[in-house]
Structure 1
Amino acid sequence: MPLTREQKSDQVAWMQGVLNDNEVVVVMRNHGMTVAEVSDLRARMREAGGGVKVVKNRLAKIALKDAPGGEVADLFTGPTVIAYSEDPVTAPKVIVKYAKENEKLEILGGRMGDQAMDAKGIDTLSEMPSREEIIASIVGQLMAPASNLINAVTAPASNIASILKTLEERENA
């Protein structure tokens, strides 16, 4: 059943919203994935905080027209799927992992911010730490000096206490 003009304009507007609201968009080619496989991919992406959608190439190209990083419009040929996430690492991590498990999914490239990327760029992006991992690392580094200071301040008191205990034990012996 063909789409009406209104449905087509809604899909173009949705795609423009995805491009504006998400830090990364990964473009993939679907080589005969089953409905169950696509559902599994969607569930994994949703769990990670992103989304997956099969898109109409012509409508995606219209949405990308005059958009920064619009060079990715050339990737929209054949059965195309996009994955997107606000975190620049989430979608690439999930997609690269899934593509290794399922050869029916081919990563073509994507867009991070205003910059177009090829498949190798998406693969490299997937190896970077996520936002949560970076925050945990920073918190750990911030807490380390405080922990060291507490240990340094309390160490002399515990040393004195152990010396006094040893002297008391000698007197009692």
Structure 2
Amino acid sequence: MVPAPPCGPVGAPPQGAGHRRRRGVDRTEKREFVASLAAVFAETSFVLVAQNKGLTVADVSELRRRMRAAGATYKVAKNRLATLALEGTRFDGVKPLLKGPTALAWSTDPVAVAKTAVEFAKTNDKFVVLGGALGTQTLSADGVKALAELPSLETLRAQLLGLIQTPATRIAGILQAPGGQVARVLSAYAKKDEAQAA
């Protein structure tokens, strides 16, 4: 008896091969995601953990736009993958917060991230700040709110620059005053000499 031809088009890979290939791609993507997240955790000083309880696509887009404007990154991450990425980093303390639909946000300016997240949470009850970590220090939701009330890094830089420039302006003013006086004195002597010569 002649065996029946295989199902599917001629030359098609055996059934299940596409599924195995997709699974291999998924694993590779997951490994790359964990590696990229771990690299972020190695470079940043603050990570915020929030819960996304059914934000609409428009809400998430608005939150991402605000985070970008503040110089921050916002990512929804699978808790298992985020836990793997956190392993062995100084942010290990936030792992217990990774329950349910969570998202992570980070930036070089911790205040900017905290401020943006807290302000967004005030207007959208589906977004809840759970906590975060500033270096090795784990913060509760109240800790993140306290951080949000501090002046941002940009504001502190402007204030510091103002402090540095103020004395310089005063010094320049003081130095210019005697110079002006010397110029007036020399001008008066020159006029006096012209008057005597005439």
Q: Is the structural similarity TM-score above 0.5?
A: yes
2:131 aligned with 1:115: no
1:147 to 153, 161, 169: 169
Code of the aligned partner of 1:51: T
Q: What is the rounded CA distance, in whole Å, between the counterparts of 2:113 and 2:170 in structure 1?
A: 38
1:98 to 120, 145, 156: 120
Q: What is the rounded CA distance, in whole Å, between the counterparts of 2:142 and 2:67 in structure 1?
A: 20
Aligned residue for 1:18? 40
3-state SS, counterpart of residue 50 of structure 2? strand
3-state SS, counterpart of residue 8 of structure 1? helix
1:41 to 54, 63, 74: 63
Q: Which has the higher contact order (CA 8 A, sep 6+)?
A: 1
3-state SS, counterpart of residue 63 of structure 1? helix
3-state SS, counterpart of residue 4 of structure 1? helix
Q: What is the rounded CA distance, in whole Å, between the counterparts of 1:142 and 1:7 in structure 2?
A: 49
Match runs of 1:48-63 below 5 Å: 48-63=70-85
Question: Structure 1, residues 9-62: CA drift from partner, whole Å, max 9, x if none?
Answer: 112112212211222111000111101100110011112111111100011111
3-state SS, counterpart of residue 67 of structure 1? coil
Note the C-alpha offset of 1:115.
2.1
Aligned residue for 1:66? 88
What TM-score do the two structures reach when normalised by structure 2?
0.73
Question: Structure 1, residues 106-157: CA drift from partner, whole Å, max 9, x if none?
Answer: 1000111222211111111111112221111111111212222333344575
Q: What is the rounded CA distance, in whole Å, between the counterparts of 1:14 and 1:150 in structure 2?
A: 51
Contact 2:49 2:103 in 1 (8 A): yes
What TM-score do the two structures reach when normalised by structure 1?
0.83
Q: What is the rounded CA distance, in whole Å, between the counterparts of 2:175 and 2:97 in structure 1?
A: 61
Alignment identity in percent?
Answer: 40
Q: What is the rounded CA distance, in whole Å, between the counterparts of 2:37 and 2:174 in structure 1?
A: 56
Q: What is the rounded CA distance, in whole Å, between the counterparts of 2:28 and 2:107 in structure 1?
A: 26
Code of the aligned partner of 1:56: K
Q: What is the rounded CA distance, in whole Å, between the counterparts of 2:36 and 2:62 in structure 1?
A: 23
For these two proteins, the number of residue pairs brought into alignment is 160
Code of the aligned partner of 2:69: E
Q: What is the rounded CA distance, in whole Å, between the counterparts of 2:27 and 2:38 in structure 1?
A: 16
3-state SS, counterpart of residue 150 of structure 2? coil
Q: What is the rounded CA distance, in whole Å, between the counterparts of 1:155 and 1:88 in structure 2?
A: 45
Q: What is the rounded CA distance, in whole Å, between the counterparts of 2:28 and 2:171 in structure 1?
A: 65
Unaligned runs of 5+ in 1: 162-173
Code of the aligned partner of 1:97: E
Unaligned runs of 5+ in 2: 1-21, 185-198
